[in-house]
Amino acid sequence: MNTTKKVSILFVCMGNICRSPSGEGVFQHYVAAKGYADQFDIDSAGTIAYHTGEPADARMREVAARRGYQLSSCARKVTEQDLDTFDLVVAMDRDNLNEMESMLNGPRQHVRLLGTFLDSYLGNDEAPCVPDPYYGGTAGFEQVLDMIESACPMLMSHCLELLNNK
């Protein structure tokens, strides 16, 4: 197998301090545990630049650390170049999906909701959204991690298909 081939995935939420850095950190952990870390480029971004340069929310980092995840990225704003170059862009909710679709002048097959990687959801129209935990308590941060963890097997399967088609 040619190990120079990689698949790139970008997780996107609004501020890039709760949900998307969690997607990045959890999925990095998952692919590393499966032995595929060298075949993935995983990143995260937000649709707003308000938190640019900041680490993930301290509450999110704390809840993630209890599960063994390190959230080490710094917030940045998604760019049009990101949307053109990443193999897969995973939005956490419809507002952020719509924002990226506006940037692209319409929907694209490689821009999907995380919920499409949960059992029995095929498209963005019916897929559940990952709720923003920012203004809530610990349970909201736990729910974010639960949803991301649940999506990892189907997400990895999809990414390995993309890799095999490169």
Q: How far is CA 131 from the centre of its chain?
A: 13
Annotated active-site residue 41? The verdict is no
From 13, 18, 129, 152, active-site residue: 13
Annotated active-site residue 74? The verdict is no
For residues 64 and 25, the answer to whether their CB atoms sit within 8 Å is yes
Of 37, 61, 73, the residue nearest 145 (C-alpha): 61
Of 90, 113, 116, 79, the residue nearest 11 (C-alpha): 90
- Residue 141, CA distances (Å) to 6, 64, 111, 134, 155 in order: 30, 8, 24, 8, 20
Annotated active-site residue 152? The verdict is no
From 43, 57, 93, 132, active-site residue: 132
Q: Provide the residue type at 42 as one letter.
A: I
From 19, 61, 76, 112, active-site residue: 19
Two tokens at 135?
């203004």
Q: Whose structure tokens read 């736990």?
A: 142
Rounded (10°) angle between helices 19-33 and 58-66:
30
- What positions carry a catalytic annotation? 13, 19, 132
